[in-house]
Amino acid sequence: MSSLYNIKIENLKGVGKKRGELFNKLGVYSIGQLLNYYPRTYEDWSSVKDISDVENGEVTCIKGQVCSAINSGYTRSGKIITKLQVSDETGVIELVYFNNRYISSMLKYGETYCFYGKISKNLYGIQMTAPEFAKDCDSAIKPIYNLTAGLTNRMVINSVKQALEMLPETVNDPIPDNIRDKFNLVNLKFALNNIHFPENQFALTVAKNRLIIEELLVLNLGLRQLKNHKREKNKNLITKDYSKEFESSLPYNLTNAQKRAVSDCVRDMMNKEITLNRLVQGDVGSGKTAVAASVSYSAIKNGMQVAFMAPTELLAEQHYNTFKELFSNTNISVGLLTGKLKQSEKNKVRKSLETGEIHIVIGTHALITENTVFNNLGLVITDEQHRFGVAQRAKLLSKGNNPHLLVMSATPIPRTLGLIIFGDLDISIIDELPPGRQEIETLLITDDKRQRAFNFIRSEIQKGRQAYIVCPLVEEGETDLASAEEYAAELMLNFFNDIPVGILHGKMKSADKERVMEQFFSNQLKMLVATTVIEVGIDVPNATIMMIENAERFGLSQLHQLRGRVGRGKEKSYCILVSNYDYGTSFERLKTMCTTGDGFKIADADLKLRGPGDFFGSRQHGLPELKISSFADTESLALSQKIADFIITDSHYLTDDRYRGIKAEISRLFTEIGDSSLN
């Protein structure tokens, strides 16, 4: 198998330079990668239903004889509409096609075909709209691939078939026999054959399961290896814990959860055998900044420098002000280093970092550049870590002598997943909010109540508050969702023409984004219409209301993140979720948002309902791209974890040839994210 990653896709019959480039667009360059290009979904032609048994809304296959003439006409909007009837022994169904001129020449009266499509049942009978059809039901489960213009599903199928034939008789399986036997997993060859061309539904299930387990296992073992790598002896040992002293300088008492997180970190830094390498995970508003400040305080008092990296300039500035305030009665000097500073200012800050005059520097990516040199960097802190890849983190770490690492994240992640995604870090969880926080009142409304919602928003603004309106990003080829700009234009024209509204979307230059945020921050703008780019961690306490359009489009965790932008001040805050649906699972899902404000509960619900795809997004966590694990469920997540534990504790892991295959897969996966420490 592994050698197939070295054979270019162009070597397949029927794939020349041009078609090869189309495959490249999909991220497929080699035969091996084609075999890992798994179907998006399947059409199950293997179980043919009687027409009398079909149900409204189901996608199914029927087999029947064309029993009417094939008639074409025009719809009122000028589309060609073709209708025909098909019968089996149990009933009759009407088929409808739009703008398909070829149907009447492809289907023949009196002949029998299989049809595959979505059933609709109403007063007038049973219909299928634009079903696929085939002369022989080859009783197969047909793979459906994600495509790109110029590449058809059939072409991909043909290529995959050839690729599968190139697999040797016995494929070297990265999961060794002993593990497969023990945990009941099918072998790689069976899995690859059946993920593409399943023999039946059961074979598909076990194939998928096996591939998910392998992928999670490779990820998990790889991350654990990273952790071992960083677990060198403590080169920045601290001898005294100053957290009590720091705490007494605060205007409030730390919560127990905050105290636990601080002492976890300080304990690690005082341990000779290890280096602090920890994630502090806490919901928005749980007070992670104070934790970071306390840990920094102890580090600095023990003679080290601290670097604190934030994902945007605005967040860096915010933290800079907070730290200056927190350290105002000490002799600790705080510096700021962002790309926005004048060159002379940057030079000055860099100089003082090199001499050690600055004890803690807050900054953006400017911290990572070559010419930033530290005197004695002992602790690196990154905020909202999912914005940074593992590789960038490593770069900042390289500026010290194996400094301690503290990563902070506001994205609650279910425990099972956290262990995998953050396999390279120890975890402390802040599961408690400071006292006196108000719940954000969350309302779920349908489209038709929008006008009332706007009136409510207006009344909040008249009280002097500010508002966010979130509309989803327009995906390519999608027209039914309003883009931020059009949407904002419409709002300003029709509802809020007397109110200063700002727009924020992903296509804007970052300087423009920052300018808009700045204006919102300083209360010049009363309303921000934005796609999901609203800065994570941005703190505008005066914003008390958020409305989220097409809420059903978002994962719950994402909604929770967005909602966390309000409810940051003393005033009561609101979140209005707008959805076109007031029934079904997506509606039920959204109702969870109205009943709990607990990010971890919400994340659990999200995992159960949607699977881990939302959490795995590679941009989210700087992880390598996963091919199939978004289909994982709680059981496969737990099983992969169990197998990883088993392998790690197997004393042969480091030396045994059996594990060579899986190690090769680990280094292949992690090369993509540029971490060469695993090679």
Chain residues binding ligand ADP by CB under 6 A are 252-255, 258, 282, 284-290, 410, 434
Overall size of the chain counted in residues: 679
320, 362 contact by CB (below 8 A): yes
What residues form DSSP beta bridges with 122? 125
Closest distance to Mg ion from the beta carbon of 288 (Å): 5
Strand boundaries in 296-395, DSSP class E: 305-309, 334-337, 360-363, 377-383
Q: What is the DSSP string of 423-441?
A: TTSEEEEE--PPTTPPPPE
Q: Which is nearer to ligand ADP, 259 or 449 (CB)?
A: 259
Cβ neighbours around 207 below 10 Å, total: 23
Q: Which of 577, 588, 641, 648 is nearest to 612 (CA)?
A: 641
Q: What is the DSSP string of 490-507?
A: HHHHHT-TTS-EEEE-TT
Residue 537 sits in the site that holds Mg ion (CB under 5 A): yes
Task: Point out the residue whose Cβ comes nearest to Mg ion.
Answer: 537
Residue 311 sits in the site that holds Mg ion (CB under 5 A): no
Closest distance to Mg ion from the beta carbon of 362 (Å): 12
Q: Which is nearer to ligand ADP, 191 or 310 (CB)?
A: 310
Q: Which is nearer to Mg ion, 234 or 411 (CB)?
A: 411
Q: Which is nearer to Mg ion, 335 or 537 (CB)?
A: 537
Q: Which is nearer to ligand ADP, 226 or 543 (CB)?
A: 543
Cβ neighbours around 58 below 10 Å, total: 13
Closest distance to ligand ADP from the beta carbon of 439 (Å): 16
Spell out, one character per residue from 90 to 119, where the chain touches Mg ion: x when CB under 5 A holds, - when not.
------------------------------
Stretch that binds Mg ion, among 215-223, 505-513, 519-527, 536-544 (CB under 5 A): 536-544
Task: Point out the residue whose Cβ comes nearest to ligand ADP.
Answer: 287
Q: Which is nearer to Mg ion, 191 or 407 (CB)?
A: 407
Alpha carbon dihedral 162, 165, 168, 170, in 10-degree steps, equals: 140
**Chain CA centroid to CA 563, Å:** 17
Residue 624 sits in the site that holds Mg ion (CB under 5 A): no
Q: Which is nearer to Mg ion, 322 or 586 (CB)?
A: 322
Cβ neighbours around 184 below 10 Å, total: 10
For 30, which DSSP code?
B
Stretch that binds Mg ion, among 49-57, 184-192, 193-201, 531-539 (CB under 5 A): 531-539
Distance CA 92, CA 83 (A): 13
Closest distance to ligand ADP from the beta carbon of 383 (Å): 8
Q: Which is nearer to ligand ADP, 258 or 636 (CB)?
A: 258
Structural tokens at position 479: 């027209």
Q: Which does 557 bind (CB under 5 to 8 A by kind): Mg ion, ligand ADP, none?
A: none
Closest distance to ligand ADP from the beta carbon of 291 (Å): 8
Q: What is the DSSP string of 363-389?
A: ESGGGTSTT---SSEEEEEEESGGGS-
Closest distance to ligand ADP from the beta carbon of 516 (Å): 21
Q: Which of 573, 577, 600 is nearest to 589 (CA)?
A: 577
Q: Which is nearer to ligand ADP, 191 or 284 (CB)?
A: 284
Q: Which does 612 bind (CB under 5 to 8 A by kind): ligand ADP, Mg ion, none?
A: none
592, 602 contact by CB (below 8 A): yes
Closest distance to Mg ion from the beta carbon of 289 (Å): 5
527, 545 contact by CB (below 8 A): no
Residue 597 sits in the site that holds Mg ion (CB under 5 A): no
Q: Which does 33 bind (CB under 5 to 8 A by kind): Mg ion, ligand ADP, none?
A: none
Stretch that binds Mg ion, among 108-116, 535-543, 578-586, 597-605 (CB under 5 A): 535-543
Q: Which does 252 bind (CB under 5 to 8 A by kind): Mg ion, ligand ADP, none?
A: ligand ADP
Cβ neighbours around 446 below 10 Å, total: 12
Closest distance to ligand ADP from the beta carbon of 258 (Å): 6
Q: Which is nearer to ligand ADP, 194 or 258 (CB)?
A: 258
Q: Which does 500 bind (CB under 5 to 8 A by kind): ligand ADP, Mg ion, none?
A: none
Q: Which is nearer to Mg ion, 599 or 611 (CB)?
A: 599
Looking only at the bridges linking them, the beta strands covering 360-363 and 404-409 are unpaired
Spell out, one character per residue from 486 to 525, where the chain touches Mg ion: x when CB under 5 A holds, - when not.
----------------------------------------
Give residue 526's region: left, alpha or beta (phi > 0; psi -120 to 50): alpha
Q: Which does 290 bind (CB under 5 to 8 A by kind): ligand ADP, Mg ion, none?
A: ligand ADP
Q: Which does 255 bind (CB under 5 to 8 A by kind): ligand ADP, Mg ion, none?
A: ligand ADP
Cβ neighbours around 402 below 10 Å, total: 17
Residue 403 sits in the site that holds Mg ion (CB under 5 A): no
Sheet holding 501-504, edge to edge: 441-446, 574-579, 543-548, 466-470, 527-530, 501-504
Distance CA 564, CA 556 (A): 12
Q: Which is nearer to ligand ADP, 112 or 263 (CB)?
A: 263
Positions in the binding site for Mg ion (CB under 5 A): 537
